[in-house]
A and B are shown apart, each in its own frame.
Chain A
Amino acid sequence: GAVVSQHPSWVICKSGTSVKIECRSLDFQATTMFWYRQFPKQSLMLMATSNEGSKATYEQGVEKDKFLINHASLTLSTLTVTSAHPEDSSFYICSAEGFPRMVRSYEQYFGPGTRLTVT
């Protein structure tokens, strides 16, 4: 149980175009989803936290107009990289917290990641 999928697994796009990445919880309801970004050989940096039906909370330094997050249902969150540039090339990983959320249990289930390359 607790499987999270991401689509696409990799994408190459031209500079200036927009790319949408989907994150789905397949066998549980995800009240909260998280989007991370990971550069090669670096750690995961939290970009934003999204709760179903409400606006995402962005981390400091993350442009909300550039990285649009929509959490329309309890099983789907999307991240759209708008007007992508080569510096946006990275590994984008989502994770989800399940419902019902156990007290003192903060386990997150990670998706397989999406590797974005902007040319």
Chain B
Amino acid sequence: GQQVMQIPQYQHVQEGEDFTTYCNSSTTLSNIQWYKQRPGGHPVFLIQLVKSGEVKKQKRLTFQFGEAKKNSSLHITATQTTDVGTYFCAAIGGEYGNKLVFGAGTILRVKS
């Protein structure tokens, strides 16, 4: 099936360190969404980015949408153990049409 490229696949950080996950698409997107899935849980919507070059912040989380609307990043400042989980980007538009196409996800583990 279709999938958006997302890296890294896995990251293990010390509590207090920063974390970043990146998504890349070969097609120009309408918008991109970010979800968090805790172990054993279901994806929970975090944010949606629509505008070229958009930057949004939620406390320690910073989300960016590239100028070309083909890539996006999620950056967490000073990670905490509560940040543990898998972070997925999900893209709409371009060759994906109206379907929400998920990235492979980045698993974040935080050592206290």
- How many A residues have CB within 8 A of the partner chain? 23
- With known contacts A43-B3, A93-B43, A104–B31 Cβ distance under 8 A: yes
- A44 near B48 (CB under 8 angstroms)? no
Q: Given the interface contacts A93-B42, A111-B42, does A46 sit within 8 Å of B100 by beta carbon? A: yes
Alpha-carbon gap, A45 to B100, bound state (A): 10
Provide the residues of chain A in CB contact with B50, threshold 8 Å: 104
Given A46-B99, A59-B1, A93-B42, residue A105 in contact with residue B48 (CB < 8 A):
yes
Residues of B within 8 A of A107 (CB): 33, 45, 48
How many A-B contacts are there with CB distance less than 8 Å? 56
Specify the main secondary structure of chain A where it touches its partner: loop
Task: Name A43's contact: one of B88, B92, B99 (CB within 8 Å).
Answer: B88
Is A44's CB under 8 angstroms from B31's CB? no
Contact present for A49 and B99 (CB under 8 Å): yes
**Considering the complex, which residues of chain A in the window 90-117 have a beta carbon less than 8 Å from any beta carbon of chain B?**
93, 95, 104-113
Interface residues of B, Cβ cutoff 8 Å to A = 1-3, 30-31, 33, 35, 41-45, 48, 50, 88, 92, 98-105, 107
